[in-house]
Structure 1
Amino acid sequence: MKKYLNIIVIGILAMTFLSCKKESFNYPPGTVGISKITYFPIITMKGEKYFIVAKGGTFTDPGATAKVGTDDSPVVVSGSVNTSVAGVYAVTYSAENADGFSATATRQVIVYDTQPDAAARDFSGKYLRASNSVASNWKKIGPGVYLVANPGGAPGADGIIVVAVNPTGSVISIPPQNTDSGAWASKDESYNLAGNTYSWVVVNAGYGPALRVFVKQI
């Protein structure tokens, strides 16, 4: 009986030793255990995300770089800019890794055609939508060119940013544009300079046809 007990004790000690043995983490490059590591592309745009150029001017694309892990990756550029026509143009940079995973980044190029009266004006500020008191913020970034955060005055939509323009007088609009949050435009726009209010219908797949009225906070 003592012999069998000794055998059992030795077996338990052997199992304990094996279970305490440290696992080797010296995996082949690009793996963890039996799993392969996938590095997703990371794109870095050179220059500004919003590039402003006067109608008839010159646009030179600053370009972008891409990395997959520590390795450089080719960048594919799509989209074109016509500086003879005012508008908002999208230049998109994309890259793909060996496993087919891709990433994109988009630059907005604004070609403006702004008259002196509008160029001297500044609509920047905080506006509250009349129906729900949700804020929309305007920031001037060029002559008659603005970035508008939460253009529809919708709760929880502060991260949505579009380009709006004021080409002359009190005329405002969201020119047709493609952004990270989809396609945008506006219609039925008006700005009341005396009352510091404006209204427009936001044209986007996530918004209805209601006229949205905003009041500037002085």
Structure 2
Amino acid sequence: MKKILLASIALVLAVCFTSCSYEDPIGSKVTVYPIITLNGDAITVITEGATFSDPGAVATIGDEEVELTKTGTVDANTPGVYNLYYSAVNEDGFSAEKRRIVIVLSAAPSTVDLSGTFYRNGNPNNVVRIADRVYTADNAGGLSLSDPSILIKFTFYNIDDTRIYAPYQEDVSATGIDVESNIGTIISPDNFTWVLYASATYGTAVRNFIR
């Protein structure tokens, strides 16, 4: 019996030595992503001809400040919307990015008053003027009032009496929708259009509002 048992053990060892192989454990590595912190506000609104000084940003990886890359420029003498991007990359190739939006408004007093109630498909959107070229809207998507939890309420700007824009804003509905508009068009004091970049509820349709 002992001979049979010893023979069996010897056979197992022989097979293992000839066919079993050691597999290296799967390697793992912790990577620390860059963090970009803007100096100043993410949205800056100035009047045409004013001086714009970029407050910049800081990039860190862990406790160490690292090189930051900036792209984009601002022409403070030309009304429009400008984007400045700040980015950094860690040693493993993982990146992070932050954006600053700079809105340059025409210095001329606006001749277009967009305050009042506008309609899209019969749905009201109440627009309130809070300063020259600065407005709020309480149903920016022009949706039915049957579900008020998804109605978008935000601030937008009349850039130069021909263009309007709503910068990126968070939690603009009761359900927490974030939104930004394209640079929309003022067709007349009684008619404007824009596209909203929000949740799937809104899509990317051109939204036409008529007073």
- TM-score, scaled to structure 1: 0.57
The aligned counterpart of 2:187 is 189
Alpha-carbon offset, residue 35 of structure 1: 2.7
Contact 1:129–1:214 (Cα < 8 Å) also in 2: yes
**2:198 equivalent to 1:213:** no
3-state SS in 2 of match to 1:187: strand
Contact 1:89–1:177 (Cα < 8 Å) also in 2: no
In structure 2, how many angstroms separate the alpha carbons of the residues matched to 1:93 and 1:149? 32
Contact 1:165–1:173 (Cα < 8 Å) also in 2: yes
**2:133 equivalent to 1:144:** yes
The aligned counterpart of 1:55 is 48
The aligned counterpart of 1:106 is 99
Q: Which moved more, 1:74-83 or 1:106-115?
A: 106-115
Tell me the alpha carbon deviations over residues 17-39 of structure 1, each in whole angstroms, 9 at most, x when there is no partner: xxxxxxxxxxxxxxxx9531111
The aligned counterpart of 2:109 is 116
Structure 2: tracts of 5 or more residues without a match: 1-25, 145-149, 170-177, 198-202
Alpha-carbon offset, residue 130 of structure 1: 3.7
RMSD after superposition: 4.3
In structure 1, how many angstroms separate the alpha carbons of the residues matched to 2:129 and 2:68? 31
In structure 1, how many angstroms separate the alpha carbons of the residues matched to 2:139 and 2:28? 43
The aligned counterpart of 1:79 is 72
1:187 is aligned with what amino acid? T
Cα 1:154–1:73, aligned 2, differ >3 Å: closer, same or farther?
A: farther
**2:59 equivalent to 1:66:** yes
- TM-score, scaled to structure 2: 0.58
In structure 2, how many angstroms separate the alpha carbons of the residues matched to 1:172 and 1:212? 15
Alpha-carbon offset, residue 58 of structure 1: 1.1
The aligned counterpart of 2:164 is 174
3-state SS in 2 of match to 1:36: coil
In structure 2, how many angstroms separate the alpha carbons of the residues matched to 1:70 and 1:137? 46
In structure 1, how many angstroms separate the alpha carbons of the residues matched to 2:139 and 2:94? 31
Cα 1:53–1:175, aligned 2, differ >3 Å: closer, same or farther?
A: same
3-state SS in 2 of match to 1:174: strand
Alpha-carbon offset, residue 185 of structure 1: 2.2
The aligned counterpart of 1:10 is none
Contact 2:87–2:96 (Cα < 8 Å) also in 1: yes
Alpha-carbon offset, residue 65 of structure 1: 0.6
Structure 1: tracts of 5 or more residues without a match: 1-32, 193-197
In structure 1, how many angstroms separate the alpha carbons of the residues matched to 2:38 and 2:195? 29
